[in-house]
Amino acid sequence: MQSSTHARDWSWTFWPAVPLYPYSRRRTTCKEIIKDTIWTFDQLHGILYTIVPIRMTVVKLEAGGLLVYAPVAPTIECVRLVSELVAKHGDVKYIILPTSSGLEHKVFVGPFARRFPQAQVFVAPNQWSFPLNLPLSWLGFPQKRTQILPEDKSLAPFADEFDYEVLDINLGRGSFAEVALFHKRSRSLLVTDSVVSIPEEPPEILQLDPYPLLFHARDNALEVITDNEANRRKGWQRISLFALYFRPSVLKVTELKQMFRDALKAPERSPKSYFGLYPFRWEENWQQSFYALRGNGRPFVAPILQVLILPQAPRQVLNWADKVATWDFQRIIPCHFDSQIQASPSQFRQAFTFLEKNRSVSDELSESTSQPLLEKDFKFIRELEAGLVKRGIATPAQERV
């Protein structure tokens, strides 16, 4: 299953609905996770060259046909790659939207469902839209084929092969939902945003056009953009810190006057390079923050969820994590960053102990798998939270349990 080399096959004309990089040209890579059983389809999304993979997972059904979890943009290239699986394993039977708040996932479901008109669409409960709360049919979802995931899981038509647990947190102006889906036969857990793992090397999808990696690999605006393996790795590691902390402690922002002075001297001042503007300065020990974030590849909860979202309902989140941890999975496939995390149910549950006063896992497990994020890197997100609470946009976190 090879990606296309024709630019027309990457075209995504609906990009203004969610105007994120790479805008109208979205490439797709496909990877077989388990032979003839599970495949992942990666595209890119982000802002200002801070880009990470966004992922769709496709699972073969025992009775024939395919289940699609969290669709990506159905470009010509993407649809061709899926159609190759359809030709071999049968039609797309089920499409799952596993979130109510993730616009970057929701925006693709309607267009994807129209390309596979025989599929039933199942969505997480309490869907909402902003600034107007519109019906799903107005957002492009096929009205006659779309339904909420049954609260009684035995009523789902794929219940024999999958189990699922829904986390649904009421945030006041909308909800945060996450549907964890367990494929029993392959012992694979599919999640959206709840946990991630950071690879040390840049993912394949970013290697197709390494310019964003090389852009962030520089130490200042006067440095020439140079393509080599070390710079690709360096750029990826810095992008990871940007994406998850917004402003980690090891990043300093140049003053406005200095930024423009540097831009005038920059070796490249094209629109692609933002006219030479590069306001970032990294401290020499910046990799310390990256390796603490990576934690040897262990699963963890993204900082913004740790601070802004999950503390709104800690008991509810822990109950959900406890239920998910009863499943006998051996790998986790999230929608972002690493495409496959080799992890046990205990390691998944360990990721949520930041919500506990007294950790429920054993000291031995804690020492071997729980490498804490650096508190100093949370500073910007905690300041953001305080500002949102002060303005009444967010509510204070509940006490840990």
The pLDDT value recorded for residue 172 is: 78
pTM value is: 0.93
Residue 18 to residues 74, 174, 284, Cα–Cα distance (Å): 15, 18, 36
Q: Tell me the per-residue pLDDT of 310-355, one tens digit each, with 9 for 90 and over.
A: 999 999 999 999 999 999 999 999 999 999 999 999 999 999 999 9
Burial class (CB in 10 A: 0-12, 13-18, 19+), 29: buried
The pLDDT value recorded for residue 22 is: 94
Q: Tell me the per-residue pLDDT of 143-154, one tens digit each, with 9 for 90 and over.
A: 999 999 999 999
Q: Tell me the per-residue pLDDT of 197-218, one tens digit each, with 9 for 90 and over.
A: 999 999 999 999 999 999 999 9
Could you tell me which of 244, 242, 248, 218 has the C-alpha nearest to residue 230?
218
Arithmetic mean of pLDDT, 269-283: 93
Could you tell me which of 346, 245, 251 has the C-alpha nearest to residue 293?
245
Q: What is the four-CA torsion angle of 211, 217, 220, 222, rounded to 10 degrees? A: -50
H-helix or E-strand spanning residue 264: helix 256-265
How would you list the strands of the sheet with 188-190, edge to edge? 162-170, 175-183, 188-190, 331-333, 341-342
Could you tell me which of 233, 308, 221 has the C-alpha nearest to residue 262?
221
Arithmetic mean of pLDDT, 255-261: 93
278's CB contacts (< 8 A; 6+ apart) are 215, 218, 220, 221, 259, 262, 263, 266
State the average pLDDT for the chain: 92
107's CB contacts (< 8 A; 6+ apart) are 14, 17, 18
pLDDT exceeds cutoff 60 at 248: yes
Q: How far apart are CA 218 and CA 225, in angstroms?
A: 7
208's CB contacts (< 8 A; 6+ apart) are 3, 27, 29
Written as one letter, the residue type at 285 is: N
**Residue 141 in tokens:** 């979802």
Q: Tell me the per-residue pLDDT of 143-184, one tens digit each, with 9 for 90 and over.
A: 999 999 999 999 999 999 999 999 999 987 788 999 999 999
Q: Are 30 and 41 in contact (CB under 8 A)?
A: yes
The pLDDT value recorded for residue 130 is: 75
What radius of gyration do the chain's Cα atoms show? 21
Q: What is the four-CA torsion angle of 100, 103, 104, 108, rounded to 10 degrees? A: 80
The pLDDT value recorded for residue 367 is: 42
